[in-house]
């Protein structure tokens, strides 16, 4: 197809100002403009956060997120709409967020922040604080996110194991397990970090059985998608002290409802689906768009093509 008009859909505003990305791409040999729902029909391609039915009429949709579980793959395929995603840019950002969670728990920093709100001088019990070297993190999903987590935690002295479908080795991981050995792999870890895409196979992968397999002193970290976890089963495990705690960036329902018990748990850190946020996000995702505009002009296959 011929690319003349590329729209930056206003929904990207959840992550960065749409005008920043439009300005970043202004030197491309095509028209780039910020658009709302009424302008979709004028575009050959859109860069977006959310899905709209009208995208079935354009030629190419680029998701500013890596996760594309909200797009109707079959309908895109039927209508010949190309879908590309932003995998490949979230290694360091999510890696540092996960390292932050682990350091909060190990050094009890989340307790200090909570106590400060109450102007309370309250030291941890003598046996609460620990250091990370010598602990093991099992990272489930060894793609961009998993590798970034492995590299960042490895730098902090954590032994990092991984779980993926093939079980083939991955640089930066001390050991890799195939996913049919998930329960054995997570049983061995002080930290379990979820970095898989949401698919039919991974929906509710972390259920009561998985939480029962984990150590009672283990922390659970989810930076993938909420529905990879059976959230009521996680809440049960936390309430029963079958886990030490959890750091959660993603939830079955977002925003996390105000009445969720997760908000009030001392050993649970809630972040609002922002593990990958950085002021450079529009540049990182813009570089993928730019590369694909070039590839289209040169008749080469799209980078990060999903459909």
Active site residues: 225, 254, 273
Closest CA to 95 of 287, 278, 275, 283: 275
Shortest separation between residue 157's beta carbon and ligand NDP, angstroms: 23
DSSP 67: -
CB atoms within 10 A of CB 14: 13
Q: Which stretch binds ligand NDP (CB under 6 A): 101-109, 253-261, 270-278, 292-300?
A: 270-278
Binders of ligand NDP among residues 198 to 227 (CB under 6 A) are 198-199, 201-202, 223-225
Q: Is 166 in the site for ligand NDP (CB under 6 A)?
A: yes
Helix pair 144-154, 91-107: axis angle to 10 deg: 50
Binding mask 88-127 for ligand NDP (x = CB under 6 A): --x---x---------------------------------
Q: Which stretch binds ligand NDP (CB under 6 A): 10-18, 56-64, 120-128, 189-197?
A: 189-197
Tokens linked to 101: 């969670």
Q: Is 163 in the site for ligand NDP (CB under 6 A)?
A: yes
> Is the preceding omega at residue 255 within 30 degrees of 0, hence cis?
yes
Q: Is 142 in the site for ligand NDP (CB under 6 A)?
A: yes
Shortest separation between residue 230's beta carbon and ligand NDP, angstroms: 15
- Please state, in angstroms and rounded to a whole number, the distance separating the CA atoms of residues 210 and 174: 22
Tokens linked to 282: 């529009």
Binders of ligand NDP among residues 6 to 65 (CB under 6 A) are none
Q: Using alpha carbons only, how large is the chain's radius of gyration in Å?
A: 21
Tokens linked to 14: 């959840």
Q: Given CA atoms 252, 253, 255, 258 in this order, what sign does their dihedral have?
A: negative
Shortest separation between residue 267's beta carbon and ligand NDP, angstroms: 20
Q: How many residues bind ligand NDP (CB under 6 A)?
A: 32
Q: State the DSSP H helix or E strand holding residue 208, giving kind and residue range, or none if neither.
A: helix 208-213
The binding site for ligand NDP (CB under 6 A) comprises: 66-67, 87, 90, 94, 140-146, 163-166, 179, 195-199, 201-202, 223-225, 249-250, 273, 275-276
């Amino acid at each position: 197809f011929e690319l003349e008009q590329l729209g930056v859909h206003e929904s990207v505003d959840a992550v960065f100002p749409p005008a920043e990305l439009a300005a970043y791409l202004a030197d491309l040999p095509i028209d780039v403009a910020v658009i709302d729902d009424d302008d979709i029909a004028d575009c050959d391609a859109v860069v977006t956060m959310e899905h709209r039915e009208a995208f079935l009429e354009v030629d190419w949709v680029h998701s500013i997120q890596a996760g594309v579980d909200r797009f109707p793959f079959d309908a895109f395929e039927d209508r010949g709409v190309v879908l590309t995603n932003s995998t490949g840019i979230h290694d360091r950002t999510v890696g540092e967020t996960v390292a932050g969670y682990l350091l909060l728990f190990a050094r009890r920093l989340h307790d200090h922040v909570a106590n400060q709100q109450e102007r309370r001088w309250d030291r941890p019990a003598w046996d609460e604080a620990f250091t990370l070297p010598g602990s093991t993190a099992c990272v489930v999903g060894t793609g961009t996110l998993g590798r970034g987590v492995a590299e960042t935690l490895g730098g902090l002295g954590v032994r990092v194991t991984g779980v993926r479908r093939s079980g083939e080795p991955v640089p930066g991981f001390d050991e890799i397990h195939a996913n049919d050995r998930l329960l054995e792999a997570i049983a061995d870890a002080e930290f379990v970090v979820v970095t898989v895409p949401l698919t039919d196979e991974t929906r509710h992968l972390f259920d009561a059985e998985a939480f029962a397999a984990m150590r009672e002193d283990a922390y659970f970290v989810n930076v993938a998608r909420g529905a990879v976890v059976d959230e009521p089963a996680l809440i049960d495990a936390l309430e029963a002290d079958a886990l030490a705690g959890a750091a959660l960036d993603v939830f079955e329902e977002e925003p996390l409802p105000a009445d969720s018990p997760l908000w009030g748990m001392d050993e649970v850190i809630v972040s609002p689906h922002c593990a990958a946020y950085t002021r450079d996000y529009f540049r990182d995702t813009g570089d993928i768009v730019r590369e694909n505009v070039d590839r289209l002009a040169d008749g080469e296959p799209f980078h990060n093509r999903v459909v």
